[in-house]
Chains A and B, each alone.
Chain A
Amino acid sequence: MTQASEYLIELTGMRKAFPGVLATDNVDLKIRPGEVHALLGENGAGKSTLVKMIYGILKPDAGEIRFNGKVVNIKNPAHARELGVAMVFQHFSLFDSLTVVENISLGMDQKSDMKALAEKISDVSERYGLPLDPHRHVYTLSVGERQRIEIIRCLLQEPKLLIMDEPTSVLTPQEVDKLFITLKRLGEEGLSILYISHKLDEIKALCDDATILRLGKKVGGVSVAEESTGSLAAMMMGEELKEFKQAAKTTVGDVRLEAKNLNMIASDPLGISLRNINLAIRAGEVVGIAGVAGNGQDELLTALNGEHRNNDPESIYIEGKASANLNPNQRRELGMASVPEKRLGHGAMPDMNLIDNAFLTAYDRLGFIKSGLIDYAKTRAFAKEVISDFNVKTPRANVPAASLSGGNLQKFIIGREFKQKPTILVVSQPTWGVDAGAAQTIREAIREMASQGAAVLVISQDLDELMEISDRMGAICGGVLSKFYPIEEITIEKMGLLMAGVELEEGVKHVA
């Protein structure tokens, strides 16, 4: 009945629903042995759901998976690994308190001796150019090194199909190049790779065929070589996005926010300490800070907005006033607003409703307290204004913040801060995990704030985003901030060096 198939894996009619959403609907996907296959789509298009079904984490509601031509019912990840499927997750499945070899051992199904395993790890790491010490504890490793653990763990299983979920979002451009060399070599050795991404240039550089998803449906199956990034983008996004128009450059005014030799010891033992941070943001400009996750971005934001303070009042100036000893509320009074990276739990309270969440940072500036009591009528009106002006999709204002999608919650938080008309704005990861339409709205709003005279600092891992909206750019690495360069002088390669902590010398600026 089954003839030998030319495909390693064939998916037909895959369907999976969650309460309220149809995550994937009737999706087909086929991968040949040795092929690097792209799974392309925006955030929320259903890519993760689809691969989780292949890896046995989620059970499909309908659909058929054939592996080497045979129909299989993948019961759990162990079963998937038995079939020869390995997966590198976007969010690493690592245990910080354990060593590399313990971590890898946990991901292996067959029991193995720790000593022998450590040797094998060293072998594989040498062979594929993935340097790693098996006996280090994970919490001491960089993000790039952590990803290597995941990859080596997969390779040790000698898989037939390797699934990689957005592997480059945590890497510097140079690290990406190295990873691609490894992946291409693996492809040549006959390993099939399913490469999930929404970054078109990566897919052009690496992949053979591509399957494109949009809103849970398959909208295209193409050979990458025959497509342009433009045509791929069109399929992925569905409609041609209106071209982002950089707002007319405003005249840059006085320095509104300044950090002078700002040092801050991390309060979290696993956090990053800030060292000698110097920056000056002027009215009317957007300054971008790039960096690989976990290099002090969060610490920088909380140092600037006053959540964490040091003992040196001269290290931060707001509107020319020494302000490092001011708390977040006092800084807000001086005109500063901030949007932290983590939405649920930092920017918003998950179990409290949007009215209470609107009150959080706005009550002082907008006067929501009348004779000692909270004026809920006024707060509710403000919350509703934010919801309508920033197109936040929610049934009501009194639903818990946790019930909103990531993108909608981000629009709400951004709206809450922007509508207070701050003169200084510090935003971290403004569009992370937000769908393309909303991301566009948010970026335009950020530019708009600057053109109205605000000093804006954007911290982001998304280089494309920063290149699009910034006037000047720098990078943060290990708690140290690079110099800033005007956007005209910036290239992806230069940014890569800055993100890796290499300071560009005046002379070699052009060589980089």
Chain B
Amino acid sequence: MLPRLIKRQTPSASMVYLSPVLALLLTLAASIVLFLMMGVSPASALHAFFVEPISSGYGLSELMVKATPLIIIGVALSLGFRAGVWNIGAEGQLILGGIFGGATALFFYEKTGFYIIPLILIMGIVGGMLWAGIVAFLKTRFNANEILTSLMLSYVAALLLNLLIHGPLKDPDGFNFPESRLFSDSALLPILYDGTRLHLGAVIALIAVGLGWILLSRTLLGYQIKVIGDAPAAGEHAGFSPSKIIWITLLISGGAAGLAGAIEVSGPIGQVLPNISPGYGFAAIIVAYVGRLHPFGVLLSGLLLALSYLGGETAQIKLNLPVAVTGVFQGLLLFFLLASDVLIHYRLQLSKEVV
């Protein structure tokens, strides 16, 4: 007899936390099948994917480098998703942050000073907010669906970066390669440990988690976000403004994505390139969901998704596996999570007996 789903009277609190674990296990199981189909030994593939990248101190520092943008964006996206504001254009906002931050770094190329790095980060935030602000304006003023506008703007942002890198941002001595100059030292984020690439951004990510948690769980704004997401009419009944929440959540997530973009160019990359993100803005959507739209959860899921990027690179080097495996892994993880979440509101019943 097939198991049936029976609605629970109250949602299961433990399943909220168990569901991501279950999803991870199912994803691993599916990955094993995938590796077998590709003719790779699952044991060595899983080792290359999940163990090897983090079996050294340097590996761990790289994990945090990759997790930094994912966590910063993931925390901010969680706020929007909780309010039912679907900003899925974080990738574009990240790129704008990279452009604004990068341009600032290049503008101060010959200068030194403590103010340069804060300015780069602030300009990154401004760039991201600007891009997300367009989405908020179109949504609140013209009722235009934010999913579609934010995504379309991501494509526009990528083309804009491409245009600028072939133009004003191009390295004057770079033999016409589409790259900017390498930033000067005073425009590079300080390294936390010598011999690694672990930079100040990691600290910013941890601060973002803390701020996100306080905002969501202890402030009126966080409460309003949750109310508007669960029942917009109840929010209006209390006198909360849905437009205000749309603006705020979009500006926060856009600003965070822009910050992440500025951190990437002035951190691990150190210059502006035509391609400054391997899809962090999209992966952060998965980070937010797997992290249960909760800042602490996002911290953990950000590390997990960062591992999938690192693992993909390792597997490519060691086993000659295509990098695309990372994308499949991320997609599977989100699928299994959404499937596992059914157990929060329903339970499985094997027999047909009635309670």
Q: Which residues of A contact B (CB under 8 A)?
A: 17, 19-20, 61, 302, 305-307, 327-330, 332, 338, 340, 342, 344-352, 356, 359-361, 363, 369, 372-374, 395, 399-400, 403
Select from chain A the residue with minimum beta-carbon distance to B7: A19
Question: Does A20 contact B9, Cβ atoms closer than 8 Å?
Answer: yes
Contacts of A330 in B (CB 8 A): 239
Q: How far, in whole Å, are A363 and B239 apart by their CA atoms in the complex?
A: 12
CB-CB contacts below 8 Å: B286-331 with A: none
Min CB gap A330→B, angstroms:
8
Min CB gap B342→A, angstroms:
15
* B118 at the A interface (CB under 8 A): no
Residue with the greatest number of chain A CB neighbours at <10 A, chosen from B10, B219, B226, B231: B231
* B185 at the A interface (CB under 8 A): no
Residue in contact with A61 in the complex, picked from B7, B238, B354, CB distance below 8 Å: B354
Question: Does B231 contact A346, Cβ atoms closer than 8 Å?
Answer: yes
Q: How far, in whole Å, are A349 and B233 apart by their CA atoms in the complex?
A: 9
**11 contacting pairs across A/B (C-beta < 8 A):** A19-B6, A20-B9, A327-B239, A329-B239, A350-B231, A351-B230, A352-B230, A360-B237, A360-B238, A363-B220, A403-B11
Question: Does A374 contact B218, Cβ atoms closer than 8 Å?
Answer: yes
Question: Does B234 contact A347, Cβ atoms closer than 8 Å?
Answer: yes
- Tell whether A372 pairs with B237 under 8 Å between CB atoms, given A350-B230, A350-B231, A352-B227: no
Question: Does B238 contact A374, Cβ atoms closer than 8 Å?
Answer: no
Question: Does A348 contact B219, Cβ atoms closer than 8 Å?
Answer: no
A-B pair number, CB within 8 angstroms: 78
Question: Does A373 contact B219, Cβ atoms closer than 8 Å?
Answer: yes
Min CB gap A412→B, angstroms:
13
Question: Does B226 contact A352, Cβ atoms closer than 8 Å?
Answer: yes
- Tell whether A305 pairs with B7 under 8 Å between CB atoms, given A17-B355, A363-B220: no
Residue with the greatest number of chain B CB neighbours at <10 A, chosen from A330, A346, A399: A346
Min CB gap A436→B, angstroms:
24
CB-CB contacts below 8 Å: B82-102 with A: none
Residue in contact with B11 in the complex, picked from A349, A369, A372, A400, CB distance below 8 Å: A400
Question: Does B237 contact A373, Cβ atoms closer than 8 Å?
Answer: no
Kindly list 12 other residue pairs between chains A and B, CB separation below 8 angstroms, not including A356-B227, A360-B237: A19-B6, A305-B237, A329-B238, A330-B239, A344-B231, A345-B234, A346-B237, A349-B231, A350-B231, A352-B230, A356-B223, A360-B234
Q: How far, in whole Å, are A373 and B230 apart by their CA atoms in the complex?
A: 21
Question: Does A307 contact B231, Cβ atoms closer than 8 Å?
Answer: no
Contacts of B218 in A (CB 8 A): 373-374
Residue with the greatest number of chain A CB neighbours at <10 A, chosen from B8, B11, B227, B239: B239
Contacts of B237 in A (CB 8 A): 305, 307, 328, 338, 340, 346-347, 360-361
Q: How far, in whole Å, are A61 and B354 apart by their CA atoms in the complex?
A: 8
Contacts of A345 in B (CB 8 A): 231, 233-234
Size bracket, chain B contacts: 20 to 34
Q: Which residues of B contact A (CB under 8 A)?
A: 6-11, 214, 218-220, 223, 226-227, 230-231, 233-234, 236-239, 354-355
Contacts of B236 in A (CB 8 A): 302, 307, 328
Instruction: List the 7 shortest-distance A-B pairs measured between CB atoms, nearest first.
Output: A328-B239, A329-B239, A349-B230, A349-B231, A346-B233, A345-B231, A403-B10
Residue in contact with B219 in the complex, picked from A372, A395, A400, CB distance below 8 Å: A372
Question: Does B220 contact A306, Cβ atoms closer than 8 Å?
Answer: no
Question: Does A328 contact B238, Cβ atoms closer than 8 Å?
Answer: yes
Question: Does A349 contact B9, Cβ atoms closer than 8 Å?
Answer: no
Q: How far, in whole Å, are A403 and B10 apart by their CA atoms in the complex?
A: 6
Contacts of A305 in B (CB 8 A): 237
Min CB gap A408→B, angstroms:
13
Min CB gap B138→A, angstroms:
20
Question: Does A17 contact B354, Cβ atoms closer than 8 Å?
Answer: yes
- Tell whether A348 pairs with B354 under 8 Å between CB atoms, given A306-B239, A374-B219: no
Question: Does A342 contact B9, Cβ atoms closer than 8 Å?
Answer: no
Residue with the greatest number of chain A CB neighbours at <10 A, chosen from B214, B219, B230: B230
Question: Does A369 contact B220, Cβ atoms closer than 8 Å?
Answer: yes
Contacts of A338 in B (CB 8 A): 237
Q: How far, in whole Å, are A327 and B237 apart by their CA atoms in the complex?
A: 10
Select from chain B the residue with minimum beta-carbon distance to A361: B238
Question: Does B220 contact A346, Cβ atoms closer than 8 Å?
Answer: no
Contacts of A328 in B (CB 8 A): 236-239
Q: How far, in whole Å, are A373 and B216 apart by their CA atoms in the complex?
A: 11
Question: Does A359 contact B223, Cβ atoms closer than 8 Å?
Answer: yes
Select from chain A the residue with minimum beta-carbon distance to B11: A400
Min CB gap B46→A, angstroms:
37
